[in-house]
Amino acid sequence: MRNAERVTFGGSGLNRASELRGSAKASPREGDLFIIHWRGKFAVDLKNACELALMKYPNKIISNKQIIFLGRKKDVSYFATDISEWEPIGQDEIDGSFYDKTQQFHEFLGKDFPFWELRSFMHLLTPRSAELASTAKSVFHWQNTSRFCSKCGQKVSIIESGWQINCENCNSSSFPRIDPVVIMLITNGPFVLLGRSIGWPDGMYSLLAGFMEPGETLEAAVRREAFEESGINVGAVQYLASQPWAFPMSLMFGCYGEAKSKEITIDHSEMEDIKWVNKHDLHMAMAGLEDSFKAARPGSIAHFLLLNWLADTLQ
């Protein structure tokens, strides 16, 4: 797919400078730039078109307890710091929904730098900010869910500038992992297959998707997931584009598949509804003019693939 890396979270070309991890050169210096992470959210800069806030080091908001070296640009390094121990007393609590609209304000940052859920502004970010945010969110999730050794149960240490976990008790090491997911644009002539998962926001439909299994190719996973969820048999499969998806730490493989059947049999243990949608109705939904359903959220690879399908630019 010619414009594949234009998908949100892709195409930044960040120099991750992985060879510096664990060295003094990957420690913050005056003038380096930090993004601020709090419980899955990020500080945004309302004065800069709601962009990801970049704080110069040193800054009293920056915690040296938990930082990640993200990469370099010329003589400036990018870092992320996690301040999830902070409690926003007297403010909105995270509501735990699929799409959290609450915002919190840290006393060191003020009203111009609220913490927002990444889904709410991911499509507005520059490619560089998007890559920094998705990387930090996934790595912090890995760190915060891996505090004890999976082999011996002892508490572990974070080393290599945030990119490695070591257990001093059994000398084991672990590294960030990603979960591969196929997300598929399944078509039958002028129709595309859209589904609605249980618990999604009201009216939202997207492409079918599912986690890959050990020993599977992308093509096999597309056919299996499509059949399991919808009963649709898929023939030829083509890879289109990928997207790092930090919710919490997946890699989405966008694929195109041609349906060999049209009758839908819904697996109601996973899906609330699945239907064929024509291009006209999808155009209307993308424009916010269709009352019966809403299309996938901007910034998602599903939205990206659907837009390219409508524009005949998949190739």
As a whole number of angstroms, the distance between CA 6 and CA 248 comes to: 21
Reported as a single tens digit per residue, the pLDDT across 171-204 is: 999 999 999 999 999 999 999 999 999 989 899 9
Query: pLDDT by residue (tens digit) across 264-298?
Result: 999 999 999 999 999 999 999 999 999 999 999 99
* pLDDT surpasses 90 at 153: yes
Residues 101, 6: Cα–Cα separation, whole Å: 26
Average pLDDT in the 138-163 region? Answer: 96
Q: Which two tokens stand for residue 248?
A: 């919490």
Q: CATH number of the domain at 179-310, please?
A: 3.90.79.10
pLDDT-derived band at 315 (thresholds 50, 70, 90) equals confident
Distant-in-sequence, close-in-space partners of 164: CB < 8 Å, separation ≥ 6: 21, 22, 158, 173, 174, 175
Statement: residue 82 has pLDDT above 80: yes
Q: What is the pLDDT of residues 38-79, one digit of tens each?
A: 999 999 999 998 899 999 999 999 987 899 999 999 999 999
At 196-237, the pLDDT tens digits run 999 898 999 999 999 999 999 999 999 999 999 999 999 999
Q: How far apart are CA 213 and CA 130, in angstroms?
A: 28
Task: Say how far apart CA 190 and CA 188 lie, in whole Å.
Answer: 6
